[in-house]
Amino acid sequence: MRNASLEAFLPQWLRPCYIVMICLAPLILWSPRLVADQLIVDKAGGSDTYATIKEALQQATDGDHLFIRSGHYLEHNLQVNKSIVIEGEDGAIVDGDHQGYVMVVHADSVTINNLEIHNSKVSYVEDYAGLLFEEVKGGKVTNSRFKGNFFGIYLAKSEGVTIANNELHSKFKRESGAGNGIHLWYCKDIHVHNNRVFGHRDGIYFEFVESSLITENYSENNMRYGLHFMFSDSCAYRNNTFRDNGAGVAVMYTQHVVMEDNTFIHNWGTASYGLLLKEIKYSKVRNNRFEQNTIGLYTEASTDVEITHNEFVENGWAAKVQANSVDNNFKENNFIGNTFDVATNSRQNYNQFDGNYWSHYNGYDLDQDGVGDVPYRPVTLFSYLVQRHSVAIILLRSMLVDLLNAAERVMPVLTPETLVDSKPKMKQIK
């Protein structure tokens, strides 16, 4: 019998809706798929669990939580087609056994958390990865570990994804046999945060990426670049460390990039540098530390770049500025203990050096305003000669070199006469 007393209080036009609600109530209360399920994967077996990840993924629906218990799961090419959370218990390892991709995500808003993903296939024609996000919106990869994969985490044509707090290791010894740690292609609005990447070809790789952010990552011992950045406008990378890579960071064919508060350290090699800028426009390099690199900063065909408040410490060359780089502004940087402060391949100078501190400066400040009364010429004759005849470096500490440099400062003949800091600071800039 219906609740006549409650129905009596309802207007006549609402009474049919009330009857329908009463009839559907049991279905609403007892349907198991109207609330998110937890699907448990356990190799050891047990009631209400799945023995394989693949089986659990086939049964999952949007909103489910797939929990993988500790164990070694030898599975590959796992397809994630639902918007779910996949989380691992400590010790949960998904091993692709070098058979292809380990896991591929095709659905929006998928979260991968606390998993170990190992051993995707190595290929010279396919970019196999431990984890691939392909054409998705939203999603997270967090607190996970990637080992022995060709590519670690690969995002293709995706947006709004966060990659945070992961660790990626590659075991490959040759650049041709290694992929990248975190690889983005045709993506936008991505945040790569607080990851540790070791031993890949490139630690982090951006190509055709827009409006994305790289923060607080640590990239070390990668064979080519700690960060490789191409055709990726309006992005920023901040507070990262690039250490002991083949070269630190290469930023190419891009505009409106912000590079600040990073550390480029110990990137040594015959053609190595902390930061390479190639065909960069309208960008900022500020508050970074370049320490003990073969070349701290190398610019080629770059224009309208602000290079301010950086520390160049004990590099071979603090900065190499090619003649085709114009309208760049080096302002209020500290150049400390570098073998050569600045080198260039032209007697012409189209860039501005203003108000920097140079530890090699021997001028004076009679009016005590903190600015040297004598301009500083950072390009020495010897650095010019070494650029053309590298074996001349063996004369670095000789008296002859000191005499040549002194003569060139008084009467520039080979070095660019206009490449000069007219307001050198007497003390380090804080």
Report DSSP letters for 30-60, one per residue: H-TTSS--EEEE-TT--TTEESSHHHHHHH-
pLDDT tens sequence across 364-389: 999 999 999 999 988 876 565 556 55
What's the length of the chain? 430
pLDDT tens sequence across 80-94: 999 999 999 999 999
Q: Give 321-382 as a DSSP string.
A: E-TT-BS-EEES-EEES-SEEEEES-S---SEEES-EETT-----TT-SSB-SS-B----HH
Number of domains in the chain: 1
pLDDT tens sequence across 14-55: 555 555 455 544 444 433 343 468 999 998 877 889 999 999
Over range 169-175, report the average pLDDT: 83
At 46, list the tokens: 């047990």
- The predicted pLDDT at position 30 comes to 36
- The predicted pLDDT at position 25 comes to 47
> H or E stretch including 69?
none
Using alpha carbons, list the distances in angstroms from residue 124 to 45, 128, 150, 387.
Answer: 38, 9, 10, 37
Residue 304 has pLDDT above 60, yes or no: yes
> H or E stretch including 29?
helix 15-30
- The predicted pLDDT at position 34 comes to 37
| Residue 26 counted as domain residue | yes
Q: In whole angstroms, what is the distance from residue 420 CA to residue 322 CA?
A: 16
- The predicted pLDDT at position 28 comes to 41
Contact 203, 225 (CB under 8 A): yes
| Residue 310 counted as domain residue | no
Share of the chain above pLDDT 70, in %: 83
| Residue 65 counted as domain residue | no
The count of C-alpha atoms lying within 13 angstroms of the C-alpha of 44, restricted to the half-sphere facing its C-beta, is 5
Other C-beta atoms lying within 10 Å of the C-beta of residue 280:
26
**What is the pTM for the complete model shown?**
0.86
- The predicted pLDDT at position 4 comes to 46
30-44, 250-264, 296-310, 339-353: segment of lowest average pLDDT = 30-44
Domain extent, residue 16, equals 1-31
Tell the residue number behind the tokens 């207007």, with chain if given: 11
177: pLDDT confidence band, cut at 50, 70 and 90?
confident
Q: For 10, which DSSP code?
A: S
Other C-beta atoms lying within 10 Å of the C-beta of residue 135:
13
Q: Which of 198, 195, 143 is nearest to 170 (CA)?
A: 198
At 238, list the tokens: 């901040």
The contacts of residue 153 (CB under 8 Å, 6+ apart) are 129, 130, 131, 133, 141, 146, 163, 166, 168, 181, 182, 183
Choice between 266 and 383, residue whose per-residue pLDDT is larger: 266
- The predicted pLDDT at position 381 comes to 61
DSSP lists the bridge partners of residue 76 as none
- The predicted pLDDT at position 412 comes to 56
Q: Which of 79, 53, 202, 207 is nearest to 136 (CA)?
A: 79
44-58, 230-244, 295-309: segment of lowest average pLDDT = 44-58
- The predicted pLDDT at position 104 comes to 98
- The predicted pLDDT at position 44 comes to 85
Choice between 348 and 359, residue whose per-residue pLDDT is larger: 359
| Residue 5 counted as domain residue | yes
- The predicted pLDDT at position 144 comes to 98
| Residue 14 counted as domain residue | yes
At 56, list the tokens: 């659990």
The mean of the pLDDT values for the chain is 88
| Residue 290 counted as domain residue | no
| Residue 8 counted as domain residue | yes
- The predicted pLDDT at position 382 comes to 55
DSSP lists the bridge partners of residue 140 as 111, 162
Over range 300-314, report the average pLDDT: 97
| Residue 265 counted as domain residue | no
At 399, list the tokens: 């008296």
